[in-house]
């Protein structure tokens, strides 16, 4: 009876003290199909797949693999039953070769000596089967993120995985890498591997999947046949409301008479002779490929890394911030790309996260003004619509979108006037993205702030920016006015080789 | 989740529960344990570690370690004795100079860790080694005796029934709790210990925080050293030998994560009390000192193990 499915999750429930992460989620995977699992951040996708891997033990429910019933998995059981998971963060050892990584934990041996040659041959064969060109001898650290992921996939197949679960596989990849990943995934399907594919990017889901399972707030919502579903319907099912526009409209609020920030031939940190002007009330987009030097430019403006030469003029005065502290005191803020490592202080409360840059200002004889601290946090919880019952909650318990709002609240509390966003919606789900965009609009429109926005998402870049500057290999290669926006032009500028 | 209230108390206040269970156990074994006289003796014995543990708490909160504490205590012993006895420096001046010197050793640690970038384990180990040598040179390997009556107050005096060192320890604990909970740099300790890069990017001058924390650790170690000197009444070139490990035990037993970023002063107070109850109680029930060491080792593993295991289970 259950022959029809290779994997069934039935009525999975997972409770944590005080929270129900999953309530009654059911999911069924057919042999040889690609099943997309979608839902907003915090919907419970990660918890659900962790139930399959044995990393999380469900409170109740059944997991049925090839007709065998389990109440919970362990990593070993999962492996024995052919379940493999490709996580966003790879389980690899950077200082070992691709071949050694492929056989990590179970090397081919002759006695106690590892047989490198045999492993390399086997690895070459494994890569070949997936049509991927990786030198088995190459060190993991020398491979691109895309190839590292391929090694992970090859490893899963090598361990005869029949069920492959991929958690946001395209997130760290460039668009070319995404293409080759798709090819591998298609190939695996043809070989009869069943795949659960988790992604935020709906176009990928339409391209790859056969069926779609939507979950929301830990609850099963619906299963759809991909071919018969509509994007609008999908988004609505995910967020539970209708989203009319992806990018909220914004009135004209640019004051061309007031230049907030001007860079003249700024050089350093890998960038060469960058000049730009940012007007008050403007959202200036910075486009380019990963590694084009955009984050590096932001680091110099924010005082995180010193510039070598050139001038930075902020509100009419030349500045040269030597530390983030100096930049913050001038009114410059940075919302970093890697929220967990550089933005949020995860082990610290929401209240403290918001107040962190202004504690010194709001202290008398080093003692914190706790009333002010509470009021500030309260104010920005309201303004930023941060969804939390308690400001003393640790920020790590919030979803990505809410974390981002806390960080934005932090910079509003610090009275910042120029806010640099580095990939403002990375890893944030569609519903929350819209809210972040609205907040960005409010910043320029209502608060009179100015925004410099780095984005690798072409649509976001064109949807949000008033003007776009493109960088390539540390050089400024192009500027586009709103009416000139087009994906092709941006890509052309972005791939312009540097002229010495 | 509600049905298990006792379980929750044990989980959140586990360290105090351990302390109370220990007290009950020792009292059953020897009723003298719970007498007021004995409890005060017990606290006096632990005052030196307790005082130094305040500074160590800050360091460990930052995810660093300070191995120089024992050496600083020794150095302070010898320096203060030498100043007062051999050079005739007035007591107040000697104390101020000594505390300044111990704070400077802390700043030196801060310089090595923050500015040069030497891992704290190595930097403070180097300070430990070097300053134990310096201490021996100052006193030429001989004890220095002959302090004024006034100086004995810090280690031997009493206010009412309460020994002065215990009062100093309580004041230090209160100051430590105040710094952690009420001052902005207390908040910085948690931020830097939890995620130094995010802390820097939110405008915290992380280098200064490290300097401050190591300086405070030096200062509190210096204060502990002075109390020890006054109690023993003799400056010796090995006075603080091995103290850093006792102090680290108090802090870690108190639930301060060695990974940095989490821990409370109240936990450290409990940790210190547990160590003092163990030391005192094991003497009262006539355990020999070798066995005492074994017990201390086991207690440390159990206390930290309980905490780590809880966290591991929560993570699942």
Query: Containing domain of residue B134, as a range?
Result: 14-315
User: Which residues of chain A does B199 touch, with a Cβ-Cβ cutoff of 8 Å?
Assistant: 345, 356
A498 has a pLDDT exceeding 50: no
Using one digit for the tens of pLDDT, what is the confidence trace for A191-211?
Answer: 999 999 998 778 889 999 999
Token pair recorded at residue B254 = 């108190």
Q: Find out whether A65 and A88 touch, Cβ atoms under 8 Å.
A: no
What does the pLDDT average to over A19-42?
A: 87
Residue A258: what are its φ and ψ, rounded to 5°?
A: -120, 115
Do residue A328 and residue B203 have CB atoms under 8 angstroms apart? yes
Q: Which CATH superfamily is domain A2-239 in?
A: P-loop containing nucleotide triphosphate hydrolases (3.40.50.300)
Residue whose tokens read 């399907």:
A189
Quote the pLDDT of residue B1. 40
Quote the pLDDT of residue A246. 77
Q: How many CB pairs under 8 A join A and B?
A: 83
Which residues make Cβ contacts (< 8 Å) with residue B40, sequence separation at least 6? B161, B162, B163, B166
Residue A21: what are its φ and ψ, rounded to 5°?
A: -80, -35
Residue whose tokens read 């450290």:
B268
Using one digit for the tens of pLDDT, what is the confidence trace for B104-113?
Answer: 999 999 999 9
A32 has a pLDDT exceeding 50: yes
DSSP letter at A436? H
Whether chain A has a CB inside 8 Å of the CB on B11: the answer is: no
Quote the pLDDT of residue A491. 79
pLDDT class of A41 with cuts at 50, 70, 90: low
What does the pLDDT average to over B122-140?
A: 96
Do residue B183 and residue A341 have CB atoms under 8 angstroms apart? no
Token pair recorded at residue B57 = 């708490």
Quote the pLDDT of residue B182. 95
- CA-to-CA distance for A9 and A344, rounded, in angstroms? 34
pLDDT above 70: percentage of residues in chain A: 97
Mapped onto helix, strand or coil, the DSSP state of residue B162 is strand
**Minimal CA separation from A357 to chain B, in Å:** 5
**Minimal CA separation from A155 to chain B, in Å:** 25
Token pair recorded at residue A250 = 């914004």
> Is this model's pTM higher than 0.80 or not?
no
| Residue B92 falls inside a structural domain | yes
Strand pairing report for A450-454 and A363-364: unpaired
Token pair recorded at residue A101 = 């990584």
Q: What number of CA atoms fall less than 13 Å from residue B264's CA on the CB side?
A: 8
What does the pLDDT average to over B24-34?
A: 92
Strands (E), A232-282: 255-268, 271-280
- CA-to-CA distance for A482 and B136, rounded, in angstroms? 75
DSSP string for A92-161: --TTSBHHHHHTTTS--EETTEE-HHHHHHHHHHHHHHTT----TTSBGGGS-HHHHHHHHHHHHHHTT-
Worst-scoring range by mean pLDDT, A109-113, A266-270, B82-86, B188-192? A109-113
How high is the mean pLDDT of chain B? 91
Domain count, chain B: 1
| Residue B71 falls inside a structural domain | yes
A135-A136-A142-A144 Cα dihedral, nearest 10 degrees: 70
- CA-to-CA distance for B97 and B106, rounded, in angstroms? 14
B42, B223, B269 from B47: Cα distances, Å: 9, 11, 11
Whether chain A has a CB inside 8 Å of the CB on B201: the answer is: yes
pLDDT class of A252 with cuts at 50, 70, 90: confident
Residue B52's nearest CA partner among B71, B35, B36, B24 is B71
Do residue B182 and residue A304 have CB atoms under 8 angstroms apart? no
| Residue B8 falls inside a structural domain | no
Kindly list the domain boundaries of chain A, sorted by start residue.
Answer: 2-239, 255-494
DSSP string for B181-222: HHBHHHHHHHHHHH-HHHHHHTT--HHHHHHHHHHHHHHHHH
**Minimal CA separation from A358 to chain B, in Å:** 9
Residue A129's nearest CA partner among A110, A154, A108 is A154
| Residue B9 falls inside a structural domain | no
Quote the pLDDT of residue A233. 85
- Domains A2-239 and A255-494 fall in the same CATH topology: yes
Q: Find out whether A226 and A456 touch, Cβ atoms under 8 Å.
A: no
Whether chain A has a CB inside 8 Å of the CB on B185: the answer is: yes
What does the pLDDT average to over A12-17?
A: 84
Q: Return the residue of A nearest to B316 by Cα.
A: A56
Instruction: Report angle CA B16, B19, B21 to the nearest 5 degrees.
Output: 110
What does the pLDDT average to over A410-428?
A: 91
Q: At CB < 8 Å, which residues of chain A contact B?
A: 17-18, 55-57, 302, 304, 323-325, 328-329, 334, 336, 341-348, 352-353, 355-357, 359-360, 362-363, 366-368, 370, 410, 414
DSSP letter at B82? I
Do residue A367 and residue B183 have CB atoms under 8 angstroms apart? yes
- CA-to-CA distance for A339 and A277, rounded, in angstroms? 27
Q: Find out whether A262 and A313 touch, Cβ atoms under 8 Å.
A: yes
Burial state string for A366-388 with b = 16 or more CB within 10 A and e = fewer than 16: eebbeeebeebbeebbebbebee
A385 has a pLDDT exceeding 50: yes
Quote the pLDDT of residue B305. 81
Residue B113's nearest CA partner among B207, B36, B24, B242 is B207
User: Which residues of chain B does A359 touch, with a Cβ-Cβ cutoff of 8 Å?
Assistant: 184, 187-188
What dotted CATH number matches A255-494? 3.40.50.300
pLDDT class of B240 with cuts at 50, 70, 90: very high
Which residues make Cβ contacts (< 8 Å) with residue A331, sequence separation at least 6? A314, A315, A415, A416, A417, A418
Which of A17, A353, A368 comes nearest B183 by C-beta?
A368
pLDDT above 90: percentage of residues in chain A: 57
Which residues make Cβ contacts (< 8 Å) with residue B274, sequence separation at least 6? B15, B18, B19, B22, B253, B299, B303
Worst-scoring range by mean pLDDT, A53-67, A271-285, B169-183, B299-313? B299-313
Residue B219's nearest CA partner among B68, B47, B64 is B68
Using one digit for the tens of pLDDT, what is the confidence trace for A75-90?
Answer: 889 988 999 999 877 7
pLDDT class of A166 with cuts at 50, 70, 90: very high
- CA-to-CA distance for A182 and A166, rounded, in angstroms? 12
Strand partners, A216: A219
| Residue B39 falls inside a structural domain | yes
Do residue A302 and residue B201 have CB atoms under 8 angstroms apart? yes
Q: Return the residue of B nearest to A298 by Cα.
A: B201
Strand pairing report for A19-29 and A7-16: antiparallel
Residue A18: what are its φ and ψ, rounded to 5°?
A: 85, -15
**ipTM confidence score:** 0.84
Q: Find out whether B213 and B183 touch, Cβ atoms under 8 Å.
A: no
Run of H or E including B231: helix B206-232
Residue whose tokens read 């061309």:
A256
Token pair recorded at residue A224 = 């759809």
Token pair recorded at residue A51 = 């139930």
Which residues make Cβ contacts (< 8 Å) with residue B153, sequence separation at least 6? B164, B230
Do residue B194 and residue A325 have CB atoms under 8 angstroms apart? no
Whether chain A has a CB inside 8 Å of the CB on B180: the answer is: no
CA–centroid distance for A445 within its chain: 27
Mapped onto helix, strand or coil, the DSSP state of residue B73 is helix
What does the pLDDT average to over A392-402?
A: 87
A425-A431-A432-A437 Cα dihedral, nearest 10 degrees: 60
How high is the mean pLDDT of chain A? 89
Mapped onto helix, strand or coil, the DSSP state of residue B236 is coil
pLDDT class of B316 with cuts at 50, 70, 90: low
Whether chain A has a CB inside 8 Å of the CB on B12: the answer is: no
Whether chain A has a CB inside 8 Å of the CB on B242: the answer is: no
Which residues make Cβ contacts (< 8 Å) with residue A118, sequence separation at least 6? A108
**Minimal CA separation from B204 to chain A, in Å:** 6
Sheet with A309-314: list strands edge to edge: A271-280, A255-268, A309-314, A317-319
| Residue B2 falls inside a structural domain | no
**Minimal CA separation from B2 to chain A, in Å:** 10
Residue A302: what are its φ and ψ, rounded to 5°?
A: -85, 0
Quote the pLDDT of residue A490. 86
Quote the pLDDT of residue A499. 42
Quote the pLDDT of residue B12. 62
Residue B29's nearest CA partner among B286, B293, B313, B241 is B286
Q: Which residue has the higher pLDDT, A39 or B158?
A: B158
CATH number for B110: 1.10.3470
Quote the pLDDT of residue A244. 54
- CA-to-CA distance for A380 and A366, rounded, in angstroms? 24
Q: Return the residue of B nearest to A356 by Cα.
A: B202
pLDDT above 70: percentage of residues in chain B: 95
């Amino acid at each position: 009876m259950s022959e029809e499915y290779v994997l069934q999750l039935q009525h999975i429930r997972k409770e944590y003290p005080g929270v129900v992460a999953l309530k009654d989620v059911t999911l069924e995977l057919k042999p040889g199909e690609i099943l997309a699992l979608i839902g907003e951040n915090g919907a419970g996708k990660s918890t659900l797949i962790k139930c399959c891997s044995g990393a999380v033990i469900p409170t109740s429910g059944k997991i049925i693999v090839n007709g065998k019933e389990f109440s919970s998995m362990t990593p070993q059981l999962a492996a024995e039953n052919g379940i493999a998971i490709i996580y966003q963060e790879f389980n690899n050892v950077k200082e070992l070769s691709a071949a050694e990584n492929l056989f990590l934990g179970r090397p081919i041996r002759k006695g106690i000596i590892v047989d490198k040659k045999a492993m390399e041959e086997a690895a070459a064969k494994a890569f070949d089967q997936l049509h991927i060109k990786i030198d088995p001898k190459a060190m993991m650290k020398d491979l691109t993120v895309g190839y590292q992921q391929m090694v992970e996939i090859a490893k899963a197949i090598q361990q005869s995985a029949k069920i492959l679960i991929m958690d946001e596989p395209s997130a760290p990849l460039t668009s070319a890498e995404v293409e080759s990943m798709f090819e591998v995934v298609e190939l695996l399907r043809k070989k009869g591997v069943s795949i659960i594919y988790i992604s935020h990017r709906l176009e990928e889901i339409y391209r790859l999947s056969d069926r779609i399972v939507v979950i929301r707030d830990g609850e099963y919502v619906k299963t759809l046949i991909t071919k018969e579903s509509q994007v609008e319907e999908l988004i609505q099912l995910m967020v539970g409301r209708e989203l009319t526009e992806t990018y909220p409209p914004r009135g004209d609020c640019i004051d061309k008479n007031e230049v907030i920030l001007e860079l003249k031939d700024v050089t350093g940190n890998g960038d060469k002779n960058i000049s730009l002007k940012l007007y008050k009330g403007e959202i200036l987009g910075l486009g380019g490929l990963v590694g084009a030097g955009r984050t590096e430019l932001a680091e110099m403006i924010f005082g995180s890394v010193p510039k070598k030469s050139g001038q930075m003029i902020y509100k009419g005065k030349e500045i040269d911030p030597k530390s983030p502290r100096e930049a913050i005191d001038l009114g410059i803020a940075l919302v970093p790309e890697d929220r967990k490592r550089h933005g949020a202080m995860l082990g610290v409360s929401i209240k403290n996260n918001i107040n962190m840059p202004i504690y010194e200002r709001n202290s008398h004889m080093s003692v914190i003004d706790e009333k002010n601290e509470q009021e500030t946090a309260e104010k920005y919880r309201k303004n930023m619509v941060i969804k939390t019952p308690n400001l003393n909650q640790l920020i790590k318990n919030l979803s990505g979108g809410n974390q981002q709002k806390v960080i934005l609240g932090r910079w509003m509390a610090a009275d910042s006037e120029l806010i640099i966003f580095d990939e403002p919606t990375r890893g944030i789900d569609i519903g929350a993205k819209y809210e972040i965009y609205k907040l960005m609009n409010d910043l320029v429109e209502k608060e009179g702030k100015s925004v410099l926005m780095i984005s690798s998402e072409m649509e976001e870049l064109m949807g949000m920016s008033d003007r776009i500057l493109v960088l390539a290999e540390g050089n400024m290669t192009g500027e586009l006015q709103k009416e000139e926006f087009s994906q092709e032009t941006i890509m052309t500028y972005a791939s312009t080789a540097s002229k010495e | 989740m509600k049905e298990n209230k006792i379980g929750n108390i044990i989980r959140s206040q586990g360290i105090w529960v351990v302390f109370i269970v220990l007290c009950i156990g020792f009292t059953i074994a020897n009723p003298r344990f719970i007498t007021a006289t004995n409890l005060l003796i017990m606290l006096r014995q632990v005052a030196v570690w307790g005082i130094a543990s305040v500074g160590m708490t800050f360091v460990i909160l930052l995810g660093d370690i300070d191995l120089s504490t024992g050496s600083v205590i020794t150095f302070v012993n010898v320096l203060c004795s030498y100043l007062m006895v051999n050079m005739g420096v007035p007591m107040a001046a000697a104390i101020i100079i000594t505390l300044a010197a111990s704070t400077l050793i802390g700043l030196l640690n801060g310089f090595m860790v923050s500015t040069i970038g030497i891992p704290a384990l190595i930097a403070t180990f180097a300070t430990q080694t070097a300053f134990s040598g310096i201490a021996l040179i100052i006193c030429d390997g001989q004890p220095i005796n002959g302090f004024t009556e006034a100086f004995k107050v810090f280690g031997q005096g009493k206010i009412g029934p309460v020994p002065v060192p215990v009062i100093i320890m309580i004041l230090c604990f209160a100051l430590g709790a105040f710094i952690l909970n009420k001052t902005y740099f207390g908040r910085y300790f948690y931020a830097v210990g939890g995620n130094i890069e995010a802390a820097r990017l939110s405008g915290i001058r992380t280098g200064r925080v490290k300097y401050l924390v190591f300086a405070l650790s030096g200062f509190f170690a210096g204060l502990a050293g002075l109390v020890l000197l006054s109690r023993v009444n003799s400056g010796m070139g090995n006075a603080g030998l091995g103290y850093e490990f006792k102090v680290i035990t108090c802090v870690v037993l108190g639930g301060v994560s060695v990974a940095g970023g989490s821990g409370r002063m109240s936990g450290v107070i409990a940790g210190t009390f547990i160590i003092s109850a163990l030391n005192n109680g094991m003497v009262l029930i006539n355990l020999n000192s070798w066995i005492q060491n074994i017990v201390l080792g086991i207690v440390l593993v159990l206390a930290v193990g309980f905490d780590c295991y809880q966290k591991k289970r929560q993570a699942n």
